[in-house]
């Protein structure tokens, strides 16, 4: 009898590499050096927190150079943040550069959004990208979930799911199952903990959830042969 191969856990967005049994996307911000020899799938982008106006041109050129690499499966994390120090107009300009590159090179985008979901939707409607946008660290309400899922957005859920009384614990059930992803972002939390909590909240056995998230990940990032 041939045993079915074990389906890996997926970590859609992390700032570190992954343990055995986990496949994920390792994120590099503009102030980190992209490790060309590393084998993990990767994303690279200009994060709103770290924008330095004198470096924008250089960072965008660096991003362009990396876009031909097979393991660079997404642009990001990038986006908008109303509570960070970087001027919002500057953030929008930098985000716009990255959106146009994502459209040109047909890459999904990993989005950082703090109190700017409406602006993100406006940008999406303006550019109508062919590839999905993933809202990372999502903790939104039901109405936002509906608006975003009418468009090709994915929802990547992380540590907020484990905290008491967060919005996302109430609203996870409204996220379409084929748009759901999990992540650990910059925490040391094992991604398996997110799976366990989501499995409880959604009342879906963990093996079923693993299959669903694996398929979502492959579809979202157009990855054909995940091992």
DSSP for 17-78, please give it: ---TTEEEEEEEETTS---TT--SEEEEE--GGG--GGGHHHHHHHHHHHTT-TTEEEEEEE
When the beta carbons of 71 and 204 are compared against Zn ion, the nearer one is 71
Q: How far is the CB of 184 from Zn ion (least distance, A)?
A: 9
Three-class DSSP category at 98: helix
Which listed range, 32-40, 98-106, 152-160, 185-193, lies at the site for Zn ion (CB under 5 A)? 185-193
When the beta carbons of 185 and 191 are compared against Zn ion, the nearer one is 185
What is the gyration radius of the CA atoms in the chain, in angstroms? 17
When the beta carbons of 123 and 185 are compared against Zn ion, the nearer one is 185
Q: How far is the CB of 158 from Zn ion (least distance, A)?
A: 9
Which listed range, 62-70, 153-161, 179-187, 213-221, lies at the site for Zn ion (CB under 5 A)? 179-187
Tell me the residue nearest to Zn ion as measured from the CB.
185
Draw the binding track, 54-73, toward Zn ion (x: CB under 5 A; -: no contact): --------------------
Q: How far is the CB of 5 from Zn ion (least distance, A)?
A: 29
Q: Does 183 bind Zn ion (CB under 5 A)?
A: no
How many residues touch Zn ion under the rule CB under 5 A: the total is: 1
When the beta carbons of 12 and 172 are compared against Zn ion, the nearer one is 12
Terminal CA-to-CA distance of the chain, rounded, Å? 21
∠ CA 52-58-60, nearest 5°, is 90
Three-class DSSP category at 106: coil
Q: How far is the CB of 120 from Zn ion (least distance, A)?
A: 15
Contact partners, residue 87, CB within 8 Å, separation at least 6: none
When the beta carbons of 38 and 178 are compared against Zn ion, the nearer one is 38
Which listed range, 28-36, 91-99, 183-191, 207-215, lies at the site for Zn ion (CB under 5 A)? 183-191
- 161-198 per-residue burial string, b: 16 or more CB within 10 A, e: under 16: bbeeeeebbebbeebeeebbbbbbbebeeebbebbebb
Q: How many CB atoms lie within 10 A of CB 24?
A: 24
When the beta carbons of 86 and 146 are compared against Zn ion, the nearer one is 86
Q: Could you give phi then psi for residue 198, rounded to 5 degrees?
A: -65, -40
Q: Does 185 bind Zn ion (CB under 5 A)?
A: yes
Task: By CB under 5 A, name the binding residues for Zn ion.
Answer: 185
């Amino acid at each position: 009898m041939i045993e079915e191969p074990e389906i890996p856990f997926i970590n859609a967005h992390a700032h570190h590499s992954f343990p055995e049994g986990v496949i994920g996307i390792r994120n590099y911000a503009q102030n980190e050096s992209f490790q060309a020899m590393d084998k993990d799938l990767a994303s690279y982008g200009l994060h709103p927190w770290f924008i330095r106006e004198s470096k924008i041109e250089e960072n965008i050129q660096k991003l362009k150079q990396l876009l031909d690499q097979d393991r660079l499966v997404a642009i990001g994390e990038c986006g908008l943040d109303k509570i960070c120090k970087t001027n919002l107009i500057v953030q929008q300009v930098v985000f716009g550069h990255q959106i146009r590159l994502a459209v040109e090179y047909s890459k999904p985008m990993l989005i950082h959004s703090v109190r700017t979901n409406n602006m993100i939707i406006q940008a999406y409607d303006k550019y109508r990208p062919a590839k999905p946008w993933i809202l990372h660290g999502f903790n939104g309400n039901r109405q936002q979930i509906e608006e975003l899922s009418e468009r090709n957005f994915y929802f990547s859920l992380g540590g907020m799911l484990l905290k008491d009384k967060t919005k996302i614990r109430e609203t996870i059930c409204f996220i379409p199952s084929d748009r759901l992803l999990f992540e650990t972002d910059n925490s040391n939390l094992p991604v398996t903990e997110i799976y366990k909590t989501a499995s409880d909240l959604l009342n879906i056995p963990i093996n079923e959830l693993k299959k669903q998230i694996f398929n979502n990940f492959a579809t979202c990032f157009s990855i054909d042969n995940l091992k």
